[in-house]
Structure 1
């Protein structure tokens, strides 16, 4: 069985150990020739040993995974990014990674990424555009949660659970289907860039989930649920009604 050389780079020792064990477990064709916590030291080894696969953390002090790649002008390895944050995977598109896995690393996801990398190596050529489209679709499918910075940290909320976003004084109050609310220091405009198509801005300070709307009142309100009323201005009225025509 042919073996493929791999180098692993992650500044966190425990994460690096965990990834190493899992690569050996699910990738029986993979030979890990080196692991590094220091991305600067990794560069020299990558140039010297020309690995077939490069497993690369994105967030690292001193040098990100993307910055490391910029130092490797003639890299031929298949790159698999690992990250705890989906938004960083979007940047991976620009670096034409073969795939990415989210931390904590799932064995099945890791195996799929490795299998894809080996397939690319054995073909001796990759269709860059096809890789980019596939990776983008994967990101879109998985990155469906709204990231809400709060005083306690970050909440990850499935967008279908959000019924209304209310902006005031630079803050945003997020109303959920279970009646709970979250307060974030992010402005309403910041959130609007990440919302799915079924959200509608009905007022300069209000965005509603169309799926949750139950009625429109001529007085200038949309009703969500039984009796939860959100104002809608004349500017947005016709566009709102057109959604239901």
Structure 2
């Protein structure tokens, strides 16, 4: 099944036919939804359809390629400019085109440009799919009592009881668990704070601890966990922390 869709725009019908023939031959996985000579017709078609790729001529009567892009509500697809003039290349990249191909079109140049676009489309789809999966899993987090942790390698599912504490740094989070392992996630600490159960307490702007793993409180401003790790506790959170253990402070 073809899941990569494209629209072609060029005011010269011979160029459209040539480009379409090359794409169909070199990339049979790409479904061409339409080939348009009139920019106005192309704009209407693009707004109505979900496309992955736009092959766009630059020099066209009434509306050039750059103007066509500026008239679209959203440009959530990859753009490959097809032009007879190399001086347009810099402007093309400024308009966020993935690449440009010079006329007359060389097959190797076309293949290189399209492969680059397809690689980005694949990454975007994988990222979107992973985010949807994580969101779905997070909806059930209270049922299975696990923390869903996106990592560079994939997704880890860690029971909350196995977590000592979470440590935020530079937008990332270190999750310290009872096996002695430390898992690093691209989620920031604030994201995890929303997902954790009431057994966790944010004792510092950069630290969240599992209250069931607390062994000592040190007056100088530290909480000692079962693994003997000393976690700082801020002055503003000290009273709230002690109250959780029914201590009374003066």
Give TM-score, length-normalised by structure 2: 0.49
